[in-house]
A = this chain, B = another copy of it.
Amino acid sequence: MKEIESLLARIKSGETTIEEGMEELKFLPIKSLHHTLIDTHRELRNGFTEVIYGEGKSIDHMVEIIEAQKGKCNILVTRISQEVFDKLNERIDGLEYNQLAKTVTHISQEINYKDSTIGIITAGTSDIPVAEEAKVTCEIFGNKTEMIYDVGVAGLHRLISRLEAIKKAKVLIVVAGMEGALVSVLGGLVNQPVIAVPTSVGYGASFEGVSALLGMLNSCASGVTVVNIDNGFGAAIAAHRINQV
């Protein structure tokens, strides 16, 4: 707002006429909104993290974005195959790759972790890559995570035996494919916020995750919310929004 303060001073001193001031202010609304919005955006992103959705971007394009931000903030690139990582790694120092999550990170700023924890729970072992994408995202935004894998409802004892651990988290991300029933069972057992992530795990009439998605939207457990299929990143940001309230 310094720019406006200076303008008003110039008006007051007569250095700038009222007409000239009017002209200068003409584009102010848009410019100001512009800046407000940038700030909001930055704040949401925590001021310290740049996120790049890697799928479909060229190597050159990604190198350019990463180099521009490197050292200024932490960087997270999602949906990166081993092949793509290898090419990025040849050109940029200090990248780390998570094979399961298919994420690339570059950490230059210390991450200040909040005290509370986000629990990330999967129904099966095939759901783990999505859970790992959520984990990496949660952590780079300063959220501690607790991973609880392979507790699907066909073996209810596995879930029950981990219930104490689950109840300690502030927010829960539940990752499941097939029919996604874990969300309904867990949603009835806990009273924390539950974010459900349907995965494309399954075959035949699972329709690449649609069955799990519909199951979760129709969960008989009240107050469960859902994100897009395989969207571990989105679930993590949703959990991060809750964890910072």
Q: Which of A66-74, A84-92, A103-111, A231-239 contacts B (4 or more CB under 8 A)?
A: A231-239
Selected contact of A214 from candidates B156, B215, B234, CB within 8 Å: B215
Interface size class of A (residues with CB under 8 A): 35 or more
Considering only residues 200-235 of chain A, those with a C-beta below 8 Å from chain B are 200-207, 209-231, 233-235
Q: How far is the CB of A158 from chain B (nearest CB, A)?
A: 8
> Which of A181, A198, A200, A234 has most B Cβ within 10 Å?
A181
Find out whether the CB atom of B154 lies under 8 angstroms from the CB atom of A220: yes
Residues on B with C-beta less than 8 A from A179 are 179-181, 184, 214-220
Q: A29-B36, A193-B241 are in contact. List 17 more A-B contacts (CB 8 A).
A: A5-B22, A8-B8, A25-B28, A37-B157, A37-B189, A55-B203, A56-B126, A153-B185, A154-B185, A154-B220, A178-B218, A180-B215, A181-B184, A181-B215, A193-B238, A205-B218, A223-B238
